[in-house]
């Protein structure tokens, strides 16, 4: 089963796993079965640990808060604080 992880840190949302689903999420066309975890991180190091493909000098994709609000209403979205 496909999975997306989006981390919240420093008042921003970061796509750290499941980048292949980014275009579908932005267009509100993601599969209803897609599992999305929204995780609050206290420090940037926690975000980096979750990041699927970290690269020196790069950042994960930032996700607009309005998209996060829409994703929170999905059946297969889990919010962890």
d(CA 1, CA 41): 24
Does residue 23 surpass a pLDDT of 80?
yes
d(CA 47, CA 76): 21
* Under 8 Å between Cβ of 26 and 33: no
- Mean of the per-residue pLDDT values for the chain? 94
Strand partners, 4: 36
Mean pLDDT of the 33-41 span: 97
Q: What is the pLDDT of residues 45-78, one digit of tens each?
A: 999 999 988 888 899 999 999 999 999 999 999 9
Q: What is the pLDDT of residues 39-50, one digit of tens each?
A: 999 999 999 999
Number of Cβ within 10 Å of residue 9's Cβ equals 19
What's residue 1's pLDDT? 59
């Amino acid at each position: 089963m496909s999975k997306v992880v989006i981390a919240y840190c420093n008042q921003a949302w970061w796509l750290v796993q499941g980048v292949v689903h980014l275009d579908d999420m932005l267009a509100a066309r993601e599969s209803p079965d897609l599992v999305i975890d929204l995780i609050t991180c206290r420090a940037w190091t926690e975000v980096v640990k979750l990041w699927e493909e970290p690269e020196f000098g790069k950042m994960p994709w930032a996700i607009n808060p309005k998209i996060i609000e829409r994703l929170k209403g999905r059946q297969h979205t889990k919010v962890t604080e």
